[in-house]
Structure 1
Amino acid sequence: MSHANACLTPTGRLRLARCVVEDGWPLRRAADRFNVSVTTAKRWADRYRAHGKDGMQDRSSRPRSCRHQTSRRRERRVLGLRVSRRWGPARIAYHLGMNPATVHRILTRYGAVVLRWTDPATGAPVRAQRRRVLRYERDAPGELVHVDVKKLGRIPDGGGHRVLGRVVGSRNSSAHRDPNRPRKVHGRPNLGYAYLHHAMDDHSRYAYSEILADETKQTASAFMTRAIEHFTSIGVTIARVMTDNGSCYRSRDFASVLNDNAIRHKRTRPYRPQTNGKVERFNRILQEEWAYARPYASESERVAQFPQFLHTYNHHRGHTALHGATPADRVPNLAGQYT
């Protein structure tokens, strides 16, 4: 960086302009004296006549107008989707037909908090540890299907603590009565859990999922049978299944289902959920865009929205890893599923 008294800094420009305007020097003489072109000498002399000493400062190179500038209305739509849906730049861009880089610049300009630093349920800023994950992908649908179970606490009638707070949510939970589930501990709710069984194709990220009552070997085996039938109906033949080391997946019933359909079984390393990362990422999407996307007054209300979420995910939601395509775009013979 040059010092304040260098030639053609604001101080040098002022000296040049005063030589021309106040002392009456010709432009060529002033240009030779300050080692600049005649055009440059005229520019600073004209600015001094128009604005005085303040005109010697650098002006912004930003254009006064831009034909391709994003409209304020579209910027408001971007920010609205970020606040209401908590979508990332790529998801918003695919929805609005924009470039993800443009959406990212809009969010940065308005100071939007990074999604991984926010709570999925409330959107409150929460810092999270950054991780770098290596990505892989199978070449064709059916080569590998990730299978997993996600356990979610049921919502009491009236709403739960995530939205209403601990006091009101606990009161609703304590008031919940299920005659088929006696309380084991006094004062604790007997709501139980909903078990979401997933089967996700590695290549297309297409997901088949059901909400079931438990995660026993009989339930997991029956779900796997229905998942195989579903993938077969859309033209996908499963060659390999990846699961964790849960007891339901180590059972003979589950192994029998796979053997009857000539499917190889691959298990993840113990305590390494990253190996089954695609279905784990689906669990996060499921929480952000369905389970905790809005306040639900009861568990039945949330369950009723699950088929619509699954249809949107498979057919309409642009996937970042697929460069904006939907999972259905990568699956052959898929028409009218989940409709």
Structure 2
Amino acid sequence: MNTHKNARLTPYLRREACRRVAAGAKVAQVARDLAVSRQTIYAWLERPHDVETRSSRPHRSPTRIPRRWRRQIRKRRGQRWSSRRIAQHYGIPLSTVGRELRRLGLGRLPRVDGPRRIVRYERDRPGELVHLDIKKLARISRVGHRIHGDYTRRTHGRGWEFVHVAIDDHTRLAYVEVLPEETAEAAAGFLARAVAWYAALGITVERVLTDNGSCYRALPFGEQALALGIGQRFTRPYRPQTNGKAERFIRTLITEWAYNRAYARSGWRTRALAHYLSFYNTERRHSALGNTTPAMRLAQHLSTTC
């Protein structure tokens, strides 16, 4: 068996215990020093040259299914037989077949056509495509069960806050607001403020990509995009991967900001957002950007176009 490298009673210490006893030390004293029983020391003394940890696996397993059945289970699974079909064909209990398949690592059949090919893309210039999305967060009135661990002290009926996010496809520069609603009017207002924020950085937003949420499909949002001269694109239904940059940013945002510490009030969490966004845009490096920050990616693009 494999012994942990930092285990307290490694084979070396066991040999050392045998050496100390052979040198005249008392068994009781050696056992006390190693925090083991005297019987353990005596067991090591009976085999001083074989003190490795032995496997507890028995030499024989009379109740285990015959080897020929195990070969047939592997063979039929390779032919994509189900567990129930194998059990019925050979008269073996279904639980036995399932246990053997898990032991072989064949508990789940792979897809016939293999894994789906992931198509990655990145726009050539800032503002060519901006991803929009919304994440719903519960309002905070006190420290919740995620922190104190007492599930009997849950808080109900405090309502929700909606985190509207915008992230540029080329630079990953992000703009975020926490709003009390996710209506079309709220999304339209967020779009106008996000476009103004990007414009202050020298980025002209050309089109936005959203999911098929009602606030993005509604007329006020479309009118706002038209007034700003921005094209609107929608993801394929039930395919959130199409808007993957926004989805991944939300996951990062939730992990590193919303659930990063115990906020006593929702307002405290909202006030911490500005500091985190500054860190994300100017200090946090991205492997997808060649280990640079979004601000550095924007600076690189501006230096090559000027």
- Which range, TM-score by smaller chain? 0.5 to 0.7
* SS of the residue 2:185 aligns to: helix
Residue 265 to residue 220, structure 1, CA distance change in 2 (3 Å):
same
What are the within-5 Å matches in structure 2 for residues 177-256 of structure 1?
Answer: 189-256=156-223
Structure 1 residue 262: Cα displacement: 1.6
What are the within-5 Å matches in structure 2 for residues 318-333 of structure 1?
Answer: 318-332=285-299
Matched letter for residue 165 of structure 2: H
* SS of the residue 2:121 aligns to: coil
Partners of 1:333 and 1:133 lie apart in 2 by: 28
**Contact 1:235 1:332 (C-alpha < 8 Å) held by counterparts:** no
| Aligned partner (choices 132, 135, 143) of residue 120 of structure 2 | 135
| Aligned partner (choices 263, 266, 279) of residue 233 of structure 2 | 266
Correspondence for 2:262: 295
Correspondence for 1:148: 133
What are the within-5 Å matches in structure 2 for residues 91-102 of structure 1?
Answer: none
State TM-score, norm by structure 1: 0.53
Partners of 1:284 and 1:194 lie apart in 2 by: 16
1:161 paired with 2:145, answer yes
1:306 paired with 2:290, answer no
**Contact 1:148 1:198 (C-alpha < 8 Å) held by counterparts:** yes
- Percent of aligned positions that are identical: 48
Residue 131 to residue 295, structure 1, CA distance change in 2 (3 Å):
farther
Partners of 1:256 and 1:333 lie apart in 2 by: 34
State TM-score, norm by structure 2: 0.58
Residue 152 to residue 133, structure 1, CA distance change in 2 (3 Å):
farther
Partners of 2:282 and 2:152 lie apart in 1 by: 38
Alignment size in residue pairs: 187
Partners of 1:155 and 1:272 lie apart in 2 by: 31
Structure 1 residue 156: Cα displacement: 2.4
Partners of 1:165 and 1:136 lie apart in 2 by: 42
Structure 1 residue 134: Cα displacement: 3.6
Q: Which runs of 5+ in 1 are unaligned?
A: 1-129, 174-188, 335-339
* SS of the residue 2:151 aligns to: helix
Residue 222 to residue 271, structure 1, CA distance change in 2 (3 Å):
same
Structure 1 residue 200: Cα displacement: 0.7
Residue 211 to residue 132, structure 1, CA distance change in 2 (3 Å):
farther
Matched letter for residue 164 of structure 1: H
Residue 192 to residue 315, structure 1, CA distance change in 2 (3 Å):
same
**Contact 1:150 1:196 (C-alpha < 8 Å) held by counterparts:** yes
